[in-house]
Amino acid sequence: MLRQSLLALTVASALTACATTPSNLSSVEENSLESKQESRAFDSTYTIPDAPRYFLEGATILTGTGEQIDNGNLLLSEGKIEALGTDIRAPEDAIKIDASGKWITPGIIDVHSHMGVYPNPSIRSLADGNEIVGPVTADVWAEHSVWPQDPNFEKAIAGGVTTVQILPGSANLFGGRGVTLKNVPSVTMMGMKFPDAPHALKIACGENPKRVYGQKGGPYTRMGNMAGYRAAWIDAKAYDKKWTDYEKKVADGDAKAEAPKRDLELETLRGVLKGEIKIHNHCYRADEMANMIELSKEFDYEIAAFHHAVEAYKVAPLLAENNICGVVWADWWGFKQEAFDIVRENAALLELAGACAIIHSDDEIQIQRLNQEVAKVMSAANDMGMELSRAQSIRWITYNSAKSIGLEDRIGSLEAGKNADVVLWSSDPFSVYAKAEKVWIDGAVRYDRGDKTVTPTSDFNLGIIDPEEDRP
Amino acid sequence: MRLLAMRTTKLLGAVFTMLFVGVAHGNSAADLFLIKNAKIVSDQGISSELTDIAIRDGKISSIGKDLELSQDYQVIDAKGMPVSSGLFNANSQIGVREVSAVAATVDAATKNEHFTASLRIVDAFNPSSVVIPYNRVQGISHVLIQPSPGSGLFSGIASVVNLSGGDSVEVRQAAMVVRLGNTGSEVAGGSRAAALAMLREAIEDARDYAKNKSSFNAGNRREYSLSRHDLQALIPVTQRRLPLLVYVDRAADIERVLEFGREYRVSLILGGVSEGWRVADKIASAKVPVLFDPIYNLPSSYETLGTRLDNAKLLHDAGVTIMFTGMGWQSTHNAYLVRQSAGNAVSNGMPYGAAIAAITTNPAKIFGLPSYGEIKKGKEANLVVWSGDPLEVMSTPRYVFIKGKSIPLVSRASRLRDRYYSRIIESNKK
């Protein structure tokens, strides 16, 4: 018995563990044991550092819920937002920060980043972002490729980015699991991992799979892509049934029930079917998004978001109806045929249709100024007569982003009780001249433009040009 | 009825004016403009006083306070909005790259080893590219189109084109593009030292060829490292009539190129210059201008370890003349975003006027375009009226003039936008 339990812990599989669970535990206890053990391998080791209370005074606050508070105050305490508004007062023990003339937003969330998996320097030795060997690699986890010393992370926090979803690359139909990280320095990936955040499953539509696998056994066409997804979901359904049957036997007290063999690929797809893993689907063209929605209905799962959705504006009402976020760039286009039908107002048109609009970077440079990306779209939309406010538009990189990765109860807006992920901007963040001055993650200052010692620079940067200095 | 009558009268009036002006001045009324109450954007910054600018015969015909002109001029009241020159992106492939992943639409480089220095990228320029209207309505009027690396050390000849969509070529031979550093090293067999050796050999061969053409053609000359056309294309470089635009990033590599320029008596422009700030004084004293995108700050390779956001500020402080491209890898389809790159350079310490010069007057001077880049009487009317500071991401063009013609603010993108905007409005009503 003991040996079996240890084994179960070692393989860290709740489902295997079920076989050794004493039958006198109630099913509730069993479930909690199950979830605990399942999450043991690669679980987050992130801890919130001790921090004083902070009272930010007299700022223009964009809350991320669609509100703007002028001359507002914000109190951060024990990792959380304690209060905000115009009439709250500074507690005596709080560090007061004069924020008059400055702006405050929630920490920025980038739901499409390859930091750590395609790090700098961009050399083959460090390029671990895409297991390109076959069209279905749902078994790989991006977190196992994350190099925490990527010097990109600290540049991103200088642009106010507090949370990132790291996705694997997009050659495959199923590219693997994505992971959500807090943008904090750590020697290990687990030290950055957002506790209890759902995994993502990266799916890619269109040109990439057919280009990469067309001469390597397929898919060669878009219909081949669709056949590939469907075949995988059929397998996933069968796998799901096997495990569900087994779990039922265990729940019914069958001590002799034998656990099916785990299959990492199908385990990921089963996670989607169970609603535990969120689909983040790289999909440019409107007609393909519609097909992918049909597919999700055929196999009964949900799609969280379409990424790189250059043509999202063409199916904006459909995305709204199906509660799917359109994740877009402000203005990238023309690099391939499926990225030809650019409109600069894409995110704004999604908003107009009542859909969830998100701006992502997918880029080491753009992640450093997502605020400017939002500003460009808002200004283009207002030029054509829409009346978007900063308070509305900032949600494209805060609240809506949090929603798509299943963390809107914890981050993405400034509301009492939520995690204190906060950016203090030198001026209006919709200006090219604005800079993030201070950034808090869980109430601790993790970036300070005036104090480089707050966060240690990446190991990579130490003495690499001049032995006594850090890389700029 | 009254409205219709009025319209007819107006239309007739316009037709008469057009006929009259057309006969008298070779101009149509549509090409006479008076921009009133504008703030001039120049290398001195944004002026605080209001100025009027008249456009006629494709040029700025007069400029000053409270200009009084005939009724033939269409009046645009800028109401204090800034007016800049049409912006210039100094490294783009507009017109030679339509859809990057569709090879047949990309003419930016060749694998053909026979044509390297002699590749005239402008021969492939397509003035009907959809990329042109998209960018000019965002305020770009000119770009330097540059070839990508091909199979040789020399990528080919860069040219200046305007984005009028018509007669576009402004400067056919603006610079000879060569890539050293990592790219050159690869071409040369694995060492940046070999790349520099190849460059020296090419210049020596071009000089020798220039002096001995007839004996070469008679078959009485040693073999050269490049084809006859490539050598011919390099002759203007050896005579300092065509600048050599050398892409190089590492500080030490920059120094080697400066030494090469002195020794081989060629006029240089440096591209890339990620670590330019480390040797800024040397670049300045060699009087070599630089061309780069100031948005980069990550060590994408071991030769760009020193990349930093205040590279532009540090180079400017040292007295180096700067030209910008950008933003990021989107400098073709979104060539207009060079102003966002420039804005970020200002945000990181570069003086505002210097950033404006880097996307207007500097490339004009360096690439031989004397009529473009300044808002002065007699200069070509390449002008943009902006809703605000042209380096601000929130600003957009209200009027764009290229060579005195008013550009309709329409592109394929705006057509798509309008189509689906109305569909969403319809759908919302349901």
Q: Residue by residue, what is the 3-state secondary structure of chain A? A: CHHHHHHHHHHCCHHHHHCCCCCCCCHHHHHHHHHHHHCCCCCCCCCCCCCCCEEEEEEEEECCCCCEEEEEEEEEECCEEEEEECCCCCCCCCEEEECCCCEEEECEEEEEECCCCCCCCCCHHHCCCCCCCCCECCCCEHHHHCCCCCCHHHHHHCCCEEEEEECCCCCCCEEEEEEEEECCCCCCCCCCECCCCCCEEEEECCHHHHHHHCCCCCCCCHHHHHHHHHHHHHHHHHHHHHHHHHHHHHHCCCCCCCCCCCCHHHHHHHHHHCCCCEEEEECCCHHHHHHHHHHHHHHCCCEEEEECCCCHHHHHHHHHHCCCEEEECCCCCCCCHHHCCCCCCHHHHHHHCCCCEEECCCCCCHHHHHHHHHHHHHHHHHHCCCCCCHHHHHHHHCHHHHHHCCCCCCCCCCCCCCECCEEEECCCCCCCCCCEEEEEECCEEEEECCCCCCCCCCHHHECCCCCCCECC
Contacts of B302 in chain A (CB under 8 A): 121, 123
- The 10 Å CB-count burial string (b at 16+, else e) for A421-452 is bbbbbbebbbbbbbbbbbbbbbbbbbbbeeee
A 10 A CB-CB count for A89 gives 11
* Smallest Cα distance from B63 to chain A, Å: 29
Predicted confidence (pLDDT) per residue in A247-261, tens digit: 999 999 999 999 999
Q: What residue in B sits closest to A211 (Cα-Cα)?
A: B101
Chain A CB contacts of B327 below 8 Å: 365
What value does the mean pLDDT take over residues A199-215?
97
B45/A contact by beta carbon, under 8 A: no
pLDDT at B27: 53
In the prediction, which pLDDT does A19 show? 35
Return the pLDDT at B19: 38
User: Which tokens sit at A270?
Assistant: 């089963």
Using DSSP bridges, classify how beta strands A303-307 and A278-282 pair: parallel, antiparallel or unpaired. parallel
Six-digit token string for B4? 């219709």
pLDDT of res. A360: 98
A-facing residues of B in 288-317 (CB < 8 A) are: 295-302, 305-308, 310
Q: Please give the Cα distance from B198 to B210 (Å, whole number).
A: 18
Cβ of residue B346 closer than 8 Å to a chain A Cβ: yes
3-class secondary structure for B298-364?
CCCCHHHCCCCCCHHHHHHHHCCCEEECCCHHHCCCCHHHHHHHHHHHHHCCCCHHHHHHHCCHHHH
Residue B386 parent element (H or E) = strand B383-386
Inter-chain touch B393–A207, beta carbons under 8 Å? no
Nearest to B396 among A366, A368, A379 (CB): A379
Partner A contacted by B416 (CB < 8 A): yes
Residue A162 sits at the vertex; the CA angle it makes with A157 and A165, to the nearest 5 degrees, is 110
Q: Do B395 and A435 touch (CB under 8 A)?
A: no
Report the residue from A120, A336, A435 with minimal CB separation from B347: A435
The CA distance from A56 to B215, in Å, is 81
Cα(B259)–Cα(B184) distance, integer angstroms: 17
Q: Identify the residue with better confidence: A26 or A245.
A: A245
d(CA B235, CA B216): 15
How far apart are the C-alpha atoms of B296 and A271, rounded to whole Å? 39
Cα–Cα distance for residue pair A294/B130, rounded to 1 Å: 33
Option in B278, B393, B413 nearest A376 (CB): B393
- For residues A405-419, average pLDDT: 98
> Are the CB atoms for A63 and A84 separated by under 8 Å?
yes
Pairing of strands A95-98, A54-62: parallel
Q: B306 to chain A: which residues are within 8 Å by CB?
A: 465, 471-472
Q: B228-238 and B192-211 are packed helices; what angle lies between their axes, rounded to 10 degrees?
A: 90
Task: Using a CB–CB cutoff of 8 Å, tell me whether B252 touches chain A.
Answer: no
B194 Cβ contact partners less than 8 Å away, ≥ 6 residues apart = B185, B188
Q: What is the pLDDT at residue A12?
A: 36
pLDDT classification of B98: cutoffs 50, 70, 90: very high
Interface residue B410 vs chain A (CB under 8 A): no
Closest CB from A335, A363, A369 relative to B101: A335
**Chain B residue closest in CA terms to A349:** B421
CA neighbours closer than 13 Å in the CB half-sphere of residue B418? 9
Region at B214 (left for phi over 0; alpha for psi -120 to 50; beta for the rest): alpha
Termini Cα distance of chain A: 57
Q: What percent of chain A has pLDDT over 90?
A: 91
Q: Is the peptide bond before A121 cis (omega within 30 degrees of 0)?
A: yes
Tokens of A442: 């869980």
Would the CB atoms of A432 and B344 count as touching at under 8 Å? yes
Q: Which residues pair with A281 in a beta bridge?
A: A203, A306
Helix (H, G, I), strand (E, B) or coil at B59: strand
Residues of B in contact with A207 (CB under 8 A): 101
Tally the C-alpha atoms within 13 A of residue B188's C-alpha that lie toward its C-beta.
Answer: 22
Note whether B417 contacts A344, CB cutoff 8 Å.
Answer: yes
A335-393 pLDDT per residue, tens:
999 999 999 999 999 999 999 999 999 999 999 999 999 999 999 999 999 999 999 99
Closest Cβ–Cβ partner in A342, A364, A365 for B413: A342
Residues of A in contact with B297 (CB under 8 A): 155, 368, 472
Proportion of chain A above pLDDT 70, given as a percent: 92
Q: Does B413 touch chain A (CB under 8 A)?
A: yes
Beta strands of B122-165 (E only): which ranges? 140-145, 154-162
Residue to mutate among A149, A287, A338, A342, with most B CBs inside 10 A, is A342
Q: Can you give the pLDDT at residue B18?
A: 39
A357 contacts in B (CB within 8 Å)?
Answer: none
A430 contacts in chain B (CB < 8 Å): 393-394
Q: Å from B220 to nearest chain A CA?
A: 47
In sequence order, the 6+-apart residues with CB closer than 8 A to the CB of A392 are A66, A351
pLDDT digits (tens, 9 = 90+) for A313-338: 999 999 999 999 999 999 999 999 99
Q: What is the pLDDT of residue B30?
A: 72
Cβ pair B391:A432 closer than 8 A:
yes
Among chain A residues, the shortest Cα distance to B302 is held by A121
Closest residue on chain A to B347 (Cα): A433
The letter for the amino acid at B18 is: M
**Chain B positions in Cβ-Cβ contact with residue A122 (cut-off 8 Å):** 300-301
- Give the SS3 label for residue B160: strand
Indicate yes or no: CB of A376 within 8 angstroms of CB of B394. Answer: yes
- Using alpha carbons, select from B355, B354, B374 the residue that is nearest to residue B364: B374
Over residues A423-433, the pLDDT tens digits come to: 999 999 999 99
**Degrees to nearest 5, angle at CA B313 with B311 and B319:** 105
Flag whether pLDDT at A28 surpasses 50: no
Q: Which residues of B touch A369 (CB under 8 A)?
A: 344
Q: Given this model, what pLDDT does residue B22 score?
A: 37
The label of the residue with tokens 């986890």 reads A141
B392: nearest CB among A121, A341, A432:
A432
pLDDT for B21 equals 38
Q: What backbone phi and psi angles, to 5 degrees, belong to B129? A: -55, 140
Q: What residue of B is the nearest CA neighbor of A124?
A: B301
Has residue B8 got a pLDDT over 70? no
CB of B217 less than 8 A from some CB of A: no
Q: What is the nearest CA distance from B61 to chain A, expressed in angstroms?
A: 31
**B25-75, pLDDT tens digit by residue?**
445 667 999 999 999 999 999 999 999 999 999 999 999 999 999 999 999
Using a CB-CB cut-off of 8 Å, the residues of chain B touching A379 are 393-396
Instruction: Find, among A102, A66, A69, the residue nearest to A86 by Cα.
Output: A69
DSSP state of B149: P
Is this complex's ipTM strictly greater than 0.85?
yes
CA B219, B223, B227, B233 torsion-angle sign: negative
Indicate yes or no: CB of B99 within 8 angstroms of CB of A465.
no
Q: Which residue of B has its CA nearest to A435?
A: B347
Residue B394 contacts A where some CB pair is shorter than 8 Å: yes
Q: Chain A residue closest to B398 (CA)?
A: A383
Name chain A contacts of B414, Cβ cutoff 8 Å: 343
Say yes or no to pLDDT of B16 above 80: no
pLDDT at A38 over 60: no
Interchain CB distance below 8 Å, A151 and B298: yes
DSSP B120: B
Calculate the dihedral angle through the C-alpha atoms of A203, A207, A213, A215, rounding to the nearest 10 degrees. 170
State whether B298 and A364 contact (CB < 8 Å). yes
Nearest to A333 among B333, B344, B346 (CB): B333
The residue of B140, B420, B427 whose CB has the most chain A CBs within 10 angstroms, and thus the best one to mutate to test that interface, is B420
The predicted structure's pLDDT at residue B7: 35
Mean pLDDT of B136-155: 97
Residue A384 has its nearest CB partner, among B295, B392, B417, at B417
How far is the CA of A329 from the CAs of A172, A375, B19, in angstroms? 21, 12, 48
Q: What is the pLDDT of residues A211-221, one digit of tens each?
A: 999 999 999 99
Please, what is the average pLDDT of chain B?
A: 94
Q: pLDDT band at A123, cuts 50/70/90?
A: very high
List the single residue in B102, B337, B424 with the smallest CB-CB distance to A353: B424
Interatomic CA distance for residues B294 and B331, integer angstroms: 12
CB A120 within 8 A of CB B307: no
Q: What is the pLDDT of residue A40?
A: 79
Picking from B100, B346, B392, the nearest residue to A334 by CB comes out as: B100
Which pLDDT value is given to residue A324?
98
DSSP annotation of B106: B
Give the per-residue pLDDT at A29: 40
Average pLDDT of the residues in B370-383 = 97
Residues 171-210 of B with CB under 8 A from A: none
For the cut 90, the answer to whether the pLDDT of residue B262 exceeds it is yes
